[in-house]
Amino acid sequence: GLPTATLSEPTTQLPTAVPIPRPTVTPGNPTLPPTTASPTQIPSSTQPTLSPTSFPSVAPTQLPCDQIEGLASPPVLTSSAFLSSGYLTFTLDSSSNMADKTVGASFTCADILLFPDSAFATCYFVKTNRIESADVSTI
């Protein structure tokens, strides 16, 4: 006859199914459903909204800037000079708001001054009416 094969029992044991208890919701668990103790209360004293204005409203008066009283004129550049150090200095005829810069803080000169290569020069306010640029001899 023919050779016969016999099947042997597996040598490894299969895991048995063990019931897993259902997880419980605990504080700090991301599966915790949101809870609200009570609805948010509306404040007892609410202010009424303002009545709407008629549309269109009256346009503001058109007044040229030079006719507005009490508004200071912007400072004017009165002089500029090369210093022996290679710096440029610029003097204004009056104090300025320094273009919202601070004394000693550097900025690109082209932000407020235009001269050849000012986009590559660094400036800073020395006082509210004087600006200096860093060494421009290398520009």
* Cα separation, 133 vs 120, whole angstroms: 11
By DSSP bridging, strand 88-92 and strand 130-133 are antiparallel
pTM for this model (two decimals): 0.48
Q: Which two tokens stand for residue 58?
A: 């009256």
Helix (H, G, I), strand (E, B) or coil at 124: strand
- In the numeric block, which tokens belong to residue 80? 């500029």
Three-class SS state of 36: coil
Query: What does the alpha-carbon distance between residue 105 and residue 131 come to, in Å, rounded to a whole number?
Result: 11
Tell me: pLDDT of 52 over 80.
Answer: no
The fraction of the chain above a pLDDT of 70, given in percent, is: 48
What is the structure's pLDDT at 78? Answer: 94
pLDDT beyond 90 at 23: no
The side-by-side arrangement of strands in the sheet containing 106-108 is 77-82, 88-92, 130-133, 122-127, 106-108
Query: Mean pLDDT of all residues in the chain?
Result: 75
Q: What is the distance between the alpha carbons of residues 74 and 92, in angstroms, rounded to a whole number?
A: 10
pLDDT of residue 83: 85
132, β-bridge pairs:
89, 124
